[in-house]
Amino acid sequence: MTTDFGTFYPPNITPDKVHGIGSWTEAQFHRALRDGKGKDGEYLYPAFSYPAFTGMTDQDISDLWAYLKTVPPSAQPSKPHDLKFPFSFRPVLLGWQILFLHKGPLEPVAGKSAEWNRGRYLAEAVAHCGECHSPRNALGGIDDKHAYAGNPDGGDGQRAPNISSHPKGIGKMSEADLAELLNTGATPEGDYVGGGMALVVDGTAKLSAADRKAIAVYIKSVPAQESTQAKKPAPKKG
Amino acid sequence: MTFGKWGKVAVAALGVAALSSAVFAQDKEALVKNRIDFMKGQAADNKAIGDYAKGMATKEAATKAINDLIDRSGKIVAMFPAGTSSTDMPGKSNAKAAIWTDHAKFVEIAKTLHDTAVAEADVIKTGTPEAVGAAQANLGKVGCGACHGPYREKLPG
């Protein structure tokens, strides 16, 4: 993943004891998702979406750990990230975490329905929708005031669209339309999503219909936001 | 400044070339607009079939739509002549240059869409609406979605 800070390469997370996470303990795995720290306590880069995963419940993190242990191990070494200084110096992430890591688990919001809270949990913590669909500030933190307003530089290198209730977002879609998109990838017009969202739909299609509807209920409740615009290139000097 | 015979010929040739270029540019714009409309036609077919699967449209409408989709899927590759990518026509075309640099894969996906649509026609003929819904979801994934990821540029929203 190419960013303003350099290029991140996803590491091997299979149970291989040398190149994967086979030598990790469950507690270390919990700490990675909850606190953004690696096996030896080193700060992790938020290209790994722990700012979202921190919201998961202990039980769900344990379930995820149990599943990952069943994945076939791969002996492929992880490729080191290629980052610019000072971002290549992990301790600077302490400051980043102080500013942008809101440790979970995510607590239910009083006064909201169980379905809405379930949808919020799935969208914010598990499916981490906002990680791609929200704009980021100069330090790479999510701009919470404009959550879900889209990101010209989405995770798959393409524009992640506005999914707030703005007419240029998903304002014209019903909850049922959105639940259908999460199930089949189809838009109300008969178009189909591609790229990174197609991979997301591979996952959301496996959710229960009730969970897809809960996500739709929550996302549809996100206030309308103007779409995030792409950064204009700096004017040439001279 | 005066032109000799060959100078006048050269100027005339340049004029013809410039005119041809302008006409070709207009042709390309018309072609891209036609292509976008063509794709919207495919989306309309998808919607009609999806509506049938959800009990919101007739079997006849779904049959008409799948036949149209089969017909269209056989024409897709020809709708993408070289020189009509988003690099060639920024802001007008949303076809990524990868269509032409990775053309064999593009052709393969178009064929998959066609073959999947042919198989889906049988499902519409003999299957339940639920089976049609599953077949349509598969078509959307292996046909439409498989192409939209690597080959469709998202335009500014």
CATH 1.10.760 in chain A, residue ranges: 114-220
Whether the pLDDT of residue B16 is over 50: the answer is no
Task: Answer whether A191 sits within 8 Å of B149, measured CB to CB.
Answer: no
Confidence at residue A236, expressed as pLDDT on a 0 to 100 scale: 45
3-class secondary structure, A97: helix
Please report, for residues A186, B43, B52, B131, the alpha-carbon distance to residue B127 in angstroms, rounded to integers and kept in the order given: 21, 22, 12, 6
As assigned by CATH, the class of the B12-151 domain is: mainly alpha
Task: Answer whether A184 sits within 8 Å of B137, measured CB to CB.
Answer: yes
Interhelix angle for B129-139 vs B103-126, to 10°? 180
What average pLDDT score do residues A200-221 get?
Answer: 96
Beta-carbon neighbour count of residue A116 at 10 Å?
Answer: 17
Which band of pLDDT confidence, cut at 50, 70 and 90, is reported for residue A4?
Answer: confident
pLDDT tens digit sequence for B104-129: 999 999 999 999 999 999 999 999 99
Which band of pLDDT confidence, cut at 50, 70 and 90, is reported for residue B14?
Answer: low
DSSP B88-125: TSTTT--B-THHHHTHHHHHHHHHHHHHHHHHHHHHHH
Task: Answer whether A194 sits within 8 Å of B148, measured CB to CB.
Answer: yes
**Chain B residues interacting with chain A (CB cutoff of 8 angstroms):** 40, 42-48, 50, 133, 136-137, 140-141, 144-150, 152-154, 156-157
Task: Evaluate whether A90 touches A42 at the Cβ level (below 8 Å).
Answer: yes
Task: Answer whether A184 sits within 8 Å of B140, measured CB to CB.
Answer: yes
Please report, for residues A144, A160, A180, B50, B133, the alpha-carbon distance to residue A150 in angstroms, rounded to integers and kept in the order given: 12, 5, 20, 28, 30
Annotated domain spans of chain B: 12-151
Helix, strand, coil percentages (3-state) for chain B, rounded to 5, are 75, 0, 25
Q: Which residue of B has its CA nearest to A149?
A: B157
Confidence at residue B6, expressed as pLDDT on a 0 to 100 scale: 55
Rounded to whole angstroms, how far apart are CA atoms B118 and B122? 7
Rounded to whole angstroms, how far apart are CA atoms A107 and B140? 37
The neighbouring-strand residues paired with A142 are: A136
Q: Does domain A114-220 have CATH number 1.10.760?
A: yes
Chain B residues with CB under 8 Å of A158 CB are: 153-154
Rounded to whole angstroms, how far apart are CA atoms B142 and B36? 20
* Chain B closest-CA separation from residue A4 CA (Å): 20
Task: Answer whether A192 sits within 8 Å of B46, measured CB to CB.
Answer: yes
What average pLDDT score do residues B47-51 get?
Answer: 96
